[in-house]
Structure 1
Amino acid sequence: MKKLRWFVNFEKEEKYLSEMASNGWKLERYSIFGIYTFKKNPPQQINYRIDYRTFKNRKKHSDYIDFLDDAGWKLVSGGYHLGYHFFIPKDKSFENDALFSDEESYRQRINALVKNCLYGFLLSIIYAIVFWGSALNNSLISIFDPKTWYLTPGLWEMTGWRFLFSFLFETPFVIFRSAPPFILVLISVILGIQALRAYYEQKRGKA
């Protein structure tokens, strides 16, 4: 089962995942687009812990996973480029503990989240503007007029089956040409939400 959810607070996200586990749905993996994939499982109490860290190379990432595994935390989902890592305790005796108890570790998590979200947000916006600007300058498309996205001469004067065939034939190419900026805008929105999450954490006085 897949669920689309966006959170601006780590604790609320951890609570949500724990509630899903108690209802028989265990987290299997997470996508940066906010898609949670759950696997049907016997209801159980699982206290998830979320960490956000990026790494310069795979060796450092592997060392990080090994360090937490030795400390009693099992990785559920999280990759080298993802940033987000979801853990569950291997021993129920410390399932209510935090991944890191020191302030510096918490600060590193928030600072990494802020930096990456802002960089990604700005780059996505810049790329979207450059794409649209180039397209508009070349009179290829107009943002607010989808008809201009189709380049078949006389398409909108056609009728009947001829129009339908030409329209359906070109539509995949239109999607290919116009999708990138919309995807970039979507990514910008997602990164903006993640930046809001970091800001919320900072306002709570923990970073």
Structure 2
Amino acid sequence: MKAPLITVDNICMDFDGSHALRNISFEIAEGEILGIIGRSGAGKTVLMHLMRGVEQPPTSGRIIYHVSACPSCDYIDVASSTGKPCPQCGGTLAPLDVDLWNETNDALKRRVMRRTAIMFQRTFALYGDDRVIENVLHALDDIDYPQEKAINRAADLIDQVRLSHRMMHIARDLSGGEKQRVVLARQLAKEPFLLFADE
């Protein structure tokens, strides 16, 4: 098995004395896909938010990201990139373990969080009056993607989610499934090393 990208170690989460999560432990390797199933209210979304570092910390346990980081700039990548040149500044990427909820350096936690993306359950975070390609261009603009390359990159992302035939359609006119695919293209635009999908 590959070295883990993320380690979830005995995570517990209580809300007003009720256990939402109790002693959850697993590892996800780089490139691995993990599906978590359970009935409604079982804590799947709570776990995902904890793994992303949002909302409130767990009652106990740790979530550790095993990454490589550039000491000269804010760039973070997967651990297998250790020793490679940083694509932003040319520095050398070094191994780093980030204990997400026990990290005293909030800037380091934010750096990891910026390299993750999420597709929310039943939420179409789209600009409804904009075309599909404009929605993806907004996402590229958010990450300061070079403008001279943005149109081609947006078209590639839309093609990846098999929506090229709808590229010039207004987002609000799409079906629910098509809207989800546009949201996926927007999330992929961030080039995350970890993508969470809530249903």
Instruction: Give your verdict on TM over 0.5.
Output: no
**Greater relative contact order structure (CA < 8 Å, 6+ sep):** 1
TM-score, length basis structure 1: 0.24
Which has more radius of gyration?
Answer: 1
* Structure with the larger strand share: 2
* Structure with the larger helix share: 1
